[in-house]
Structure 1
Amino acid sequence: MIIVVGIGADGWDGLPAESCRALEQAEVLMGSARQLDLVPASAAERVVWPSPLLPALLALLERYADHDVCVLASGDPMFYGIGSTLVSLLGASRVRVLPHLSSLSLACARLGWPVEQVEVVSFVGRRPTALNAALLPGRRIVVLGAGRDSPSLVAGLLAGKGYGPSPMTVLSDLGAASESVLPGTAAGWAAPAPSSLNVIAIECVAEPDAEPLARVPGLPDAAYEHDGQLTKREVRAVSLSRLAPVPGELLWDVGAGAGSIAIEWMRSHPACAAVAVESRGDRAGAIRRNADALGVPSLRVVEGKAPAALDGLPAPDAVFVGGGATGPGLLERCWSALRPGGRLVVNAVTLESEAVVAGWYARLGGELVRLAVQRASPVGSFTGWRAAMPVTVWSVTRKDRA
């Protein structure tokens, strides 16, 4: 049994009796150098986390498998902390967690914000551009900083997306004697945080010309960098409704183009994951830039031609094929890879791809929908309708492995 003890910036004096006893009885203490320095000297062996931690963690735990081990964590170990990692690796029955107040709880207490109404974004071990997905007028966001420059990174992202007027409050060393609370705005922020232990509280205020980007499918086409290879807004919304994103599920976006389907799948919930497969390097680069700009930098981009590029990828819960349906073996590979209950959605524009889709529909059933979109545009001094190419959308759910 590994005991994980949450500790605050106030150190030993802020720990409850149960946590103090666990640390005093431990044979081995593990944690960062800063965390270990918060605990008084004892007979326990002290092990500073290696860097990078995750690749070495299992071997480290095995080395001390016969010892009473206490792991130190900042605040609540199950809130973006090492406790969650250990439970994932070892199982809940082998990990006992003694939590402390989280930085989120402390920040909301200082500001008078209801915790359940706050969105949280962590910069710790993650790309800061994940903040972009959370930016909407009126939203309250708490960013878990990863160093003294985190407030400046937040301010730059906000200003770049048209949220420069947003009030920002930087709270450092929460719970410690050195605690500080510094207010400002994104547009006027320039200073580093007083401490590397900081959170940044944001009240989103948009400039008049900022265009909020909702979490529902069907972002404006102009939100994407693309060369024309883009699933258009209306078709994208319908396709994603058929893919039916569920938190925690994985999507393959095959022939991803600008990556719009994968990106909006991931924007639907922070727990949704996706792999965008694209054969052209220039388009793969655009997908990465779009993912950053729209707040899903963890989107995995695979450069290569399907179906060969699909080898070795984790099994998907949903697959979208936006192009290349006529490729030999592609739909067979996608269908066989789906988990039970998984959804396959294929968009067809050409007669050849429609013929392939019709054959699969005859074999497996599902739904066929044909979309014809027309947009108003100038016709001389008047306005008329211009039709886009119709798109056939085939969707089917895998019921079993038979």
Structure 2
Amino acid sequence: MSDSLWLTIVGLGEDGPDGLSPASLKALSEAEVIMGAPRHLSLLPPLSCDTVEWPVPYADGIALLLEKRGKKTVVLASGDPFWHGAGGTLAKHLERGEWRSIPSPSTLSLAAAALGWSLESTVTLGLHAAPFARLRPHLAKGTRAIVTLRDGNAVTEFAGWLSKIGFGDSTLHVMEALGGPNERIRATTAQDMAFDDINHPVSVAISAKGGPALSQSSGQPDAFFDNDGQITKRPVRALTLSALAPQPGEHLWDIGGGSGSIAIEWLLAHGQNAATSVEINPDRANRIRENATALGADRLKVVTGAAPQALEDLAPPDAVFIGGGISEDMLQTVWRQLPAQSRLVANAVTLEAETLLASWHAKFGGDLLRIELAHATPLGRKRGWKSSYPIVQWSVSK
């Protein structure tokens, strides 16, 4: 064991020290300081060492912990500290050789064991400090998911949210204090949720039923995006996202966000993707945030301002989409800031913007695509084709 090791992160179950590994028990017995939430500290027997209640909000406790550097310190966490727990947060502030983690079974492991669900085919999310809509991209008929929630009231709110978005027939397994003497598991449907005595800590397992589900391909229905008419419509959006070609972990600039549909679908493509939407209209910027939150893409960063000025302090992109306000100045600024091998896609509707894209295509290459769509609409007692404005799309890798 390293001489610099001073911190041990111990994962507790609801039965306290019972069932802990010898290594965990040894760390607790040798500790000079034990830090943890009041609920965790209450699970331990009387202690002779110093104890510190971790403050709320959680981030306020980091400085208190770092002041203990050099003393044998134990931080208490729930179950596996590195599954939606304290471990990932603490590790960012520590050197690798000065800490270790000793996990107990996580909530998801205990829940899966209680229900007989295979974890590899079950969605697992920590929603105790995150919007319920983080689950939205995963919801479809037959989906199984296990989520942690803040408290009993949050379970009722969660059931109401599921019902509101069309999944009220889903079966919910409400699981309290898993692994401890007060463990309790009850089942109901989201729309029939009536439990009023749910105790913390609580998790919920969902067998999803209902809809509509989000598609796994590009081009979600337009109805998913609240808008004032400024939206890249579904067929064009599908072609645009195909040209942008999102890859895991990449960052998109969406310039002229409108409803946010391009940036949101970029984020839905992979959970590690990032996106920044730039929108000059404050009302539309707020609508983008609301759309992103509703569809489980609340990590979308929205900048209210005019491009290209609003682009100055943004993290470098891997891809850029220009959906409005195309100008020579805009293209010059974006091209200058675009890292090598990054991708640029721009859509033009006006003749002036089309001419500009044709000029840049002549200089820098890439693909120039003209998109012409027509929809069947009533024409007297029959039907005819109604054409939309043609769109010229330029896509290029720098």
Q: Which category describes the TM-score, using the shorter chain as reference length?
A: over 0.9
Show the counterpart of 1:355: 355
The aligned counterpart of 1:281 is 282
Aligned identity (percent) is 42
The amino acid that maps onto 2:94 is L
Structure 2 residue aligned with 1:303: 304
The one of 21, 33, 37 equivalent to 2:38 is 33
Paired with 2:365 and 2:90, the residues of 1 have a C-alpha distance of: 44
Match of 1:323 in 2: 324
Match of 2:51 in 1: 46
Separation in structure 1 between the aligned mates of residue 67 and residue 90 of structure 2, nearest angstrom: 15
SS at 1:153 equivalent: helix
Q: Match for 1:299: what amino acid?
A: L
Quick check: 1:215–1:264 contact (8 Å CA) kept in 2?
Answer: no
Distance 2:257 2:95 in 1: 36
Is there any run of 5+ residues in structure 1 with no aligned partner, and where?
Answer: none
In 1, are the aligned partners of 2:12 and 2:20 still within 8 Å (CA)? yes
* Aligned positions of 1:47-196 closer than 5 A: 47-54=52-59, 56-90=60-94, 92-192=96-196, 194-196=198-200
Question: Counterpart of 1:97 in structure 2: which amino acid?
Answer: S
Q: How does 1:214-363 map to 2 (within 5 A)?
A: 214-326=215-327, 329-363=329-363
SS in 2 for 1:356: helix
**SS across alignment from 1:71:** strand
Residues 395 and 175 of structure 1: is their aligned pair in 2 closer, same or farther, counting only changes over 3 Å? same
Distance 1:9 1:338 in 2: 51
**2: CA distance, partners of 1:46 / 1:256:** 50
Mapped to 2, the partners of 1:342 and 1:78 lie a distance apart of: 33
Q: Distance in 2 between matches of 1:47 and 1:337?
A: 48
Aligned to 1:12: 17
Residue 92 of structure 1: how far off its partner (Å): 4.2
Give the Cα separation in 2 of the matches to 1:14 and 1:109.
16
Shift of the 71–340 alpha-carbon distance from structure 1 to 2, 3 Å rule, reads farther
The corresponding residue for 1:376 is 376
Give distance in 2, aligned partners of 1:356 and 1:83: 51
Q: In structure 2, what residue type is equivalent to 1:13?
A: D
1:110 Cα deviation from its structure 2 partner: 0.8
Could you tell me how far apart the structure 2 residues matched to 1:30 and 1:340 are? 47
Partner SS for 2:152: coil
Q: How big is the shift at 1:323?
A: 0.7
One-letter code of the match for 2:244?
Answer: L
Tell me the SS of whatever aligns to 2:92. helix
Q: Displacement, 1:21?
A: 1.0
Q: Name the counterpart of 1:395.
A: 395
Partner secondary structure for residue 292 of structure 1: helix
* Distance (Å, rounded) in 1 between the aligned partners of 2:336 and 2:153: 47
Q: Distance in 1 between matches of 2:249 and 2:32?
A: 37
Structure 1's 124 and 385: CA in aligned 2 closer, same or farther, altered over 3 A? same
CA RMSD of aligned residues (A): 2.0
**d(CA) in 2 for partners of 1:254, 1:306:** 7
- The alpha-carbon deviation at position 91 of structure 1 amounts to 5.3
Q: Distance in 2 between matches of 1:93 and 1:273?
A: 31
The CA deviation string for residues 211-233 of structure 1, in whole angstroms up to 9 with x for no partner, is 33213210111221111110111
SS at match of 1:97: strand
1:179 Cα offset (Å): 0.4
Take 1:106 and 1:336, find their aligned partners in 2: how far apart are those partners? 52
Contact 2:176 2:198 in 1 (8 A): yes
| Superimposed CA distance per residue, residues 183-226 of structure 1 (whole angstroms, 9 cap, x where no aligned partner) | 000110132462121111111111xxx43321321011122111
Give how far 1:15 is off. Answer: 1.0
Superposition deviation, residue 335 in structure 1: 3.2
Q: Which amino acid aligns with 2:272?
A: A
Aligned counterparts of 1:246 and 1:52: Cα–Cα separation in 2: 34
Q: How many residues align?
A: 393
**In structure 2, C-alpha distance between the alignment counterparts of 1:120 and 1:331, rounded to whole Å:** 42
